[in-house]
Amino acid sequence: MTTHTTDSNPLLQLTDAPRFDLIRPEHVVPAMQQLLSALEAELQQLETQAQPTWAGLVEPLERLTDQLNVTWGIVGHLMGVQNSDALRQAHETVQPDVVQFSMRLGQSPAIYQALKALKAGPAWAACDAAQQRIVDSLIRDAALAGVGLQGQARERFNAIQQELARLSTTFSNHVLDATKVFALTLDKPEDVVGLPPSLLQLAAQAAHQAGATEATPEHGPWRITLDYPCLGPFLDHSQRRDLREQVYRAFITRASSGEADNAPLISTILQLRREQAKLLGYDSYAVLSLASKMAPDVATVERFLEELRQASHSAAQRDLDDLRACARAAGAAEADDVQPWDLAVWAERLRQQRYDFNDEELRPYFPLPRVLSGLFSLVQRLFGVQVRPADGEAPVWHADVRFFRIYDDQERPIAAFYLDPYSRPAEKRGGAWMDECVGRSRTLATPGNAVRLPVAYLICNQTPPVDGKPALMSFNEMRTLFHEFGHGLHHMLTTVDYGLAAGIHNVEWDAVELPSQFMDNWCYHRETLLGMSAHVDTGAVLPDVLYSKLCNARTYRAGSAMLRQLYFACLDMALHHHFDPHGTETAFDVQQRVAQLTTVLPPLREDRFLCSFGHIFAGGYAAGYYSYKWAEVLSADAFAAFEEAGLDNAPALAATGQRYRRSVLALGGSRAPMEVFRAFRGREPSTAALLRHSGLAA
């Protein structure tokens, strides 16, 4: 990697292991200013000297973009995991300059013309298929970045880009602030009736950290927050309907009032995206978004979503009727007036009746260290790679963060990753994600090495350890870990040496969830699940009877789960394709309208879920949320290949795993996703496996 190193600024010490032990918010502005100045000089040199060849154009372009992506990526990463006022200020100061340089690069006529000359010239025939796909993508991306715009149109387009970048960051900060500002402190035993011991421990620990030094799990006080490890179990188990309503209303109105109000931002973001699309000649932002995705057009996406809606709507209605019947049988006052804050608690009650277990029973069997051991054992069996702890070999940003290396079957290191597992609501945004620290690249290899090896960030927000015991994972938290590790494998097991198509690079957004959702399925695989269970007190393996109950419950409320995702996806598409932000209707009116078709218990009129919908307003899923379901069709069909091989047939699983590794995981963005899928499956995907796994097959 080309480095612009200064001993005094650790953010500019570009190595494969960033100096998280030294990087501070005060380093951000001077580092980025220095880097951007150097990159501008490099860009000018490339523009005057670019040759229409791979080595004379694409390799220098990769070097240039990588320096920016790695350094600014570290800043963005810290914004997600170690957010602070000082870091926000630094980010806000320098973000316009970063966006400005990115636009300057994306709109460079000299580089665009050189790329087109490469495609049209004699050097094209010497490029392999992966190189040609990369060049085609660069030409397309330049067009989408506004390279063809002139004069006022370009100025306006660039102003919109700047403003959207700022609004996205502000939106995300507002959600973080609104989440951590709410707390409900309970101090009477009757307030916590029904709450499981793990939540009482967590809530007492939160109260203790907030200053109630006398707090204990047995006697309180207990602090209930909107952080998911607390919120989820509270809504699942609290017997106090009034308190459930209070917490639920706080959750669905996050970031919708006061200084952290995201409602005006939503309107502005949608207006700006629409205008941006029109400037580029697209009818809507959704059409612009799909120009670089696997799905060919909006109509195809809407037909796909409608097909799944019809398969799941009546099942979701039956799910709701079952909950009402359960409440009625229990003599509950709310039986004839079930509200959104009642759903989780009755769903949990009905599951216990139907399958005779609850989520909390599973938790003691799944301490995080044991789960990691089981996960790593699975990837060794399937893909022939070993994951080993390497704590202390790379600086970390928090004491809870672990570092691991991955080795191939020849004992050669091939990748590494950081794992930041626990929730920290004061500084870490919610949810879970995988991101790139550095990507695989031959061009960016250090002297003496053939390639630079990929390094990933794996971030979860699971329940932290309490009372000196290891963190105990809910089944949902386990699935989340497997999901993010699937993204990580996609990034880390690539064999593509071109950085611009290695791992997740150049993979169409609606295919990028395939490897992650594929991994979810293994949480139900007997050998895998039992192999990573060991009761925290006794070491006992998960009993067969509990495993059977868990599998039997796999399709419990599957119609409701599917419909919920379709609600989000249809709402996203409606806002970015059909909605006129300048009209009389508001985004919240659209939400209510979409909900009529995609929910069986409509949201409250005051529901402001959109104000915390970071996926589409502060993430990469704008006019792309459908990708979760689109890719789930691919992932379910991919897992079906392992079912056909025989889930208990170790040699057949290993052979299928190697085939999956050589195609889905290895090829990255070097080939179109449908080609990659066909290379593994031998045919195009079918929805049959997804509907079968969901219990929704006709």
Task: Cite the active site residues.
Answer: 484
Hey, how many other C-beta atoms are within 10 angstroms of the C-beta on 596? Answer: 8
> Which element (helix H / strand E) includes 458?
strand 455-462
* Secondary structure class of 148 (helix, strand, coil): coil
Q: Are residues 663 and 680 in contact, defined by beta-carbon separation less than 8 angstroms?
A: yes
Hey, how many other C-beta atoms are within 10 angstroms of the C-beta on 198? Answer: 19
Q: What gap in Å lies between CA 116 and CA 114, rounded to an integer?
A: 5
Hey, how many other C-beta atoms are within 10 angstroms of the C-beta on 605? Answer: 7
Q: 672-685 burial, b if ≥16 CB within 10 A, otherwise e? A: bbeebbeebbeeeb
Q: What gap in Å lies between CA 539 and CA 384, rounded to an integer?
A: 28
Q: CA nearest 520: which of 437, 627, 634?
A: 634
Q: What gap in Å lies between CA 511 and CA 676, rounded to an integer?
A: 10
> Rounded to 5 degrees, what are φ and ψ at 287?
-65, -40
Q: Which residues contact 148 (CB under 8 A, 6 or more apart)?
A: none
* Secondary structure class of 600 (helix, strand, coil): coil
User: What is the DSSP-derived secondary structure letter of residue 664?
Assistant: I
Sequence-ordered alpha helix ranges (H) in 618-696:
627-645, 650-660, 673-681, 688-693
Q: CA nearest 227: which of 483, 463, 467, 466?
A: 463
> Rounded to 5 degrees, what are φ and ψ at 68?
-70, -45
